[in-house]
A and B are shown apart, each in its own frame.
Chain A
Amino acid sequence: MDKNEDLLVVENLTKHFKTSFGVVRAIDEINFTVKAGETFGLVGESGSGKSTTGYVVMGIYTPTSGRILFKGNDISMHAKKRPKYLKKNLAIVFQDPASSLNPTKTVKDVVGQPLKIQGLAKSHEEYDKRVSELLDAVELPPEDFKERRPKDLGGGERQAVAIARAIATNPSFIVLDEPTSALDVSIQAKIMKVLMRLQRELNLSYLFITHDLSLMRNVSSRVAIMYLAQIVEFAPTATFFRNPVHPYTQMLLSSIPVLTDKEEKLKPKEIISRGEVPSAINPPPGCRFHTRCSFATETCRSKQPTFVTVEPEHQVACHLITK
């Protein structure tokens, strides 16, 4: 695929869950595209629907409505119903390294599982060789790690194993759901470097989901901010950090704990965070952020905002912004 062609297109995607407390509206009509070779960042806090989006794209959940297109193919269904040859192309790395690896298996089994499923290794030697290659690619010396079990590994090593598993079938697209939030800072840097290198070497596209804006700043080319099941702002990364427009985005940015004074100057000063995320079962009417927004007006409380283009490729859903 050529760079900059649309690899993944998400159209009007909605996902609701029926629970005993009511219908949880996890995702409500979101639209975005991920281009070949890029890292698309999805940012949000708990309840925003960002992880659910990743899961629906992977087929762990069936969409309630809307479409997902991958390389032109419609994949808007549960993974079990998707054709096998397509499954090779998509992979996911989960947030919690401890539970994303089967504790009773060895590293070799875990990393080699996709090879077995897709029938990619014709003999024991080939299988062995490929597993070693994959472990090398994530900087885990194969001889040391092949026979170990997840319980003996540190968080960073487990995550590296999960990444090795993800790239086993040579996918073109990987969903990374908070891949480093459970890790220590020094290990986070190492894993991120591995991910960046793999992206270059294997020409991968990433859907990078996180709540950490400092991380996002250094990893993605385009960013979308989610709040309570909707996308509220879209922009290329540099533009976004230079000129955050939506009140929620500004609140998010001003809450980030930073380490240097240089960074402090980059943060918007005006908005101190307040309030809690409302329930996803009964989201507030109109603009969902109005309950916490210091600038909320009557319109905000009753009408849903539509997207307005502020700059090239920079769009916001907020009543207060006019062209």
Chain B
Amino acid sequence: MEVRNLFIGFKTYLGKLNVLNGVDFALRKSEKVGIIGESGCGKTTTMKAILGILASNAVIDGGEISFQGHEMLKIGKKQLNQIRRKNLTMIFQDPTAALNPVFKVGEILGDVIKYSGNFDHEKATKKLLREKSIDALKEVSLPDPERVLDSYPFQLSGGMRQRVCIAMSLATAKDLLIADEPTTSLDVTIQDQVLRLMKDLVNRKNLSIILISHALGTIRNTVDTVYVMYAGNMIESSETGKLFSNPLHPYTQGLLKSVPKLTGEGFSEGIPGRIPDYVNPPPGCRFNPRCKYAMEICRKERPRLLEVDADNHKVACWLYNKR
């Protein structure tokens, strides 16, 4: 998948929110990519654009999204639906909201499998669907799958619900899994289990995954490549280990310093300022008002995401881009 120079805005009573400011992002087959960003940076908007589920007041001001050769922003609804059925899947942040509370898990899961387009759904008998559903639940290590299928979502714990959502996404073989903060609402010990599970399944099925989170530790343990997003731009990307050991962009550095450490060093000052007003965003690099290294050019021109050294470590920052 490739996202090229994507600009998306939203019309509101305050004016037009120019959220995405030229997002550049790429993902190869079977690659595991993480997107780190704080709330309001536009990561969910980018994902919604890929899936074609943006709100009605969204305006696409430019850019392209291509996925397996398809131009996602230009194709018709029918084709989009087909891709959504067969190739793309998403896991949302809140498993409770993602499962319809009036249906039993078995019914929800059965429907997903039945209409996944993977087999002729005329032939889908109840028995066949139930078998496949049980298989799917076993894959996510849910104990007692039969009982889970006959339960309503509210009868399950948060961790179990999220595992059901993961089972739903993985049951119908896809190419790309987008997970938006999949473990944020879970307890730490359950989070650990669920992430291990996802990593294992992704590896086994050779899926590509985009994992979105604001929890840096989660990203570090799960993906190979990381993108850091700020105020509608990808400002840094690199192989995971390198990003955490050698962050280049001032925002990334500030972010990593802000995380409390087990070594007990106390708290950093955080990053001064707040995220920009999207109605009147700062010209040039959107981080410049908060950046202690800001130069004249930072206030005039937006830096692009360019490679800094041979190791595929990219930064969008005038401190590094050759000028």
Q: A: which residues have CB within 8 A of B? A: 45-46, 154-157, 184-190, 192-193, 196, 211-215, 217-219, 237-238, 241, 251-252, 254-260, 262-263, 266-267, 272-274, 276-277
17 contacts between A and B (CB under 8 A): A186-B254, A187-B270, A189-B259, A189-B267, A190-B270, A212-B188, A212-B260, A213-B188, A214-B261, A214-B262, A218-B260, A218-B267, A241-B264, A256-B188, A256-B262, A258-B262, A260-B244
Query: Could you say which of B38, B263, B266 contacts A262, with CB atoms under 8 Å apart?
Result: B263
User: In the assembled complex, which residues on chain B have CB atoms less than 8 Å from the CB atom of A258?
Assistant: 217, 220, 261-262
Q: Which of B83-138 contact A (CB under 8 A)?
A: none
Are the CB atoms of B269 and A190 closer together than 8 Å? yes
Are the CB atoms of B191 and A255 closer together than 8 Å? yes
Are the CB atoms of B263 and A257 closer together than 8 Å? no
Are the CB atoms of B261 and A184 closer together than 8 Å? no
Query: Could you say which of A241, A251, A263 contacts B189, with CB atoms under 8 Å apart?
Result: A251
Known pairs A192-B260, A218-B261, A266-B263; A255 contacts B269 (CB<8 A): no
User: In the assembled complex, which residues on chain B have CB atoms less than 8 Å from the CB atom of A262?
Assistant: 261, 263
Are the CB atoms of B271 and A256 closer together than 8 Å? no
Q: Interface size bucket, B side? A: 35 or more
Are the CB atoms of A276 and B160 closer together than 8 Å? yes
User: In the assembled complex, which residues on chain A have CB atoms less than 8 Å from the CB atom of B190?
Assistant: 45, 273, 276
A46-B244 Cα distance, complex, nearest whole Å: 30
A262-B265 Cα distance, complex, nearest whole Å: 12
Contact pattern, B 159-188, Cβ under 8 Å of A = 1, otherwise 0: 110000000000000000000000000011
With A154-B275, A214-B262, A217-B263 known, 18 other A-B pairs at CB within 8 A are: A45-B190, A186-B255, A186-B270, A188-B258, A193-B269, A211-B187, A211-B188, A217-B264, A218-B260, A218-B265, A237-B264, A255-B191, A256-B188, A257-B215, A258-B220, A262-B263, A272-B192, A276-B159
User: In the assembled complex, which residues on chain A have CB atoms less than 8 Å from the CB atom of B261?
Assistant: 214, 217-218, 258-260, 262-263
Known pairs A155-B39, A276-B157; A214 contacts B259 (CB<8 A): yes
Determine the residue in chain B with the shortest Cβ distance to A271: B189
Known pairs A218-B260, A266-B263; A255 contacts B254 (CB<8 A): no
Query: Could you say which of A190, A214, A241, A254 contacts B260, with CB atoms under 8 Å apart?
Result: A214
Are the CB atoms of A184 and B38 closer together than 8 Å? yes
Query: Is B77's beta carbon under 8 Å from chain A?
Result: no
Determine the residue in chain B with the shortest Cβ distance to A273: B189
A274-B193 Cα distance, complex, nearest whole Å: 7
